[in-house]
Amino acid sequence: MHGEYKVPGGKLVVVDLDVEDGALRHTRVAGDFFLEPDEALDAINGALDGAPADTDTAGLAARIEAALPEGTVMYGLTSDGIGVAVRRALAHATDWTDYDWQLVHEGPQAPALHMALDEVITQEVAAGRRPPTLRVWEWGAPSVIIGSFQSLANEVDPEGAARHGIDVVRRISGGGAMFVEPGNTITYSLSVPEALVQGLSFQDSYAYLDDWVLGALADMGIKAWYQPLNDIATDAGKIAGAAQKRMVAPGGGPGAVLHHVTMSYDIDADKMLEVLRIGKEKLSDKGTKSAKKRVDPLRRQTGLPREAVIERMIDSFRGRYGLTDGKVTDEELARARDLAATKFSSPEWTARVP
């Protein structure tokens, strides 16, 4: 069995192993990490050999930590990362480069239609009728997008939203509210087979699916990192938030994961605070007293036009994993338009948590 895992902010860990009588055997750890002393690698392999095959990531990491020689130094490598690579090998997880990725980047569309496209495209990936897809959004109107489980009344000031002509749409994924204005926001979705995140915890899957964009930002001179559970941050503040939704395949087969990210290219913070209700409790775990200080736009950090930032992100993804230009099919678009009208534009859905 073969498993690979790139440690967030670190290096690639590769594990090859066999399972005999319910235990790990012939375990071999490799990768482009740095490790001292040399004999630490033998200690890691020895610690994993004989472990029950159902040992979780934390249990595998504990075995490794107990076996490491005193003074061991790991760079780009963690015991947890090795454990994840082992679990991915056992789960027969796939890798990014195992797929023919498709790019969908079309003209501006209504917020409700974007919500519907996320659902339809991910369903198509789950059913095996569409390849894994990177969809870059263009917004047709300003909006507030609230998470699947958020209270509408607690998150949005209806008078402020009406004053600024901003509609509210509820998405299918969890997480917090997004304040969106065309030209000020960069949003993308990844619709991926569940096999890509096999062996990863829910939290680890966020870091794993965000890693490529951290590399793209680094190429633009921005040192960014994944901040659990679902933020991308820099020294200057948060620049993006992610959310996920798991979908099952028809008939109960392997499913798909929707992972979407909204990044602030620019922001009208005063308008945002008139539309969103951002309480002190929400700010308390962010280490700041002001919502304005939570988000630091990409426009200031990169000095690049929004279109150039998007182009560089797409180029970075293509360079890593390959990417073929595609489009939403006529059938997908028809289903999404129907869903946008009957579900995502309906008061029943938007106010399902009043």
The tens digit of pLDDT for each residue in 61-117 reads 999 999 999 999 999 999 999 999 999 999 999 999 999 999 999 999 999 999 999
The Cα 47–Cα 49 span in angstroms is 6
Q: Tell how far CA 4 is from the center of its chain.
A: 18
Instruction: Give the pLDDT of residue 229.
Output: 87
What b-and-e string marks burial along 87-103, b requiring 16 or more CB atoms within 10 Å of the CB?
Answer: bbbbeebbebeebebbb
Q: Tokens standing for 61?
A: 């990491």
Q: Tokens standing for 20?
A: 């005999």
Taking 3-state DSSP, the helix, strand and coil percentages for the chain, each rounded to the nearest 5, stand at: 40, 25, 35
Task: Give the rounded percent of residues in the chain with a pLDDT score beyond 90.
Answer: 90
Q: Tokens standing for 39?
A: 């004999």
In the chain, what is the straight-line distance between the N-terminal and C-terminal CA atoms, in Å? 49
The Cα 275–Cα 36 span in angstroms is 53
| pLDDT digit string, tens, across residues 191-236 | 999 999 999 999 999 999 999 999 999 999 999 999 988 999 999 8
Instruction: Give the pLDDT of residue 292.
Output: 57
Give 298's pLDDT tier (boundaries 50, 70, 90): very high
| Parallel/antiparallel/unpaired status of strands 167-170 and 178-180 | unpaired
Arithmetic mean of pLDDT over the chain: 94
Instruction: Give the pLDDT of residue 283.
Output: 43
Q: CA of 270: how far to CAs of 160, 167, 179, 274, 349, in Å?
A: 11, 17, 12, 6, 28
Angle 57-67/39-48 helices, nearest 10 degrees?
A: 140
Instruction: Give the pLDDT of residue 117.
Output: 98
Task: Give the rounded percent of residues in the chain with a pLDDT score beyond 70.
Answer: 95
Instruction: Give the pLDDT of residue 250.
Output: 78
Mean pLDDT of all residues in 27-43: 97
Alpha helices in the chain (DSSP H): 39-48, 57-67, 79-90, 111-126, 152-155, 158-163, 202-219, 269-275, 280-284, 298-302, 306-321, 330-339, 347-350
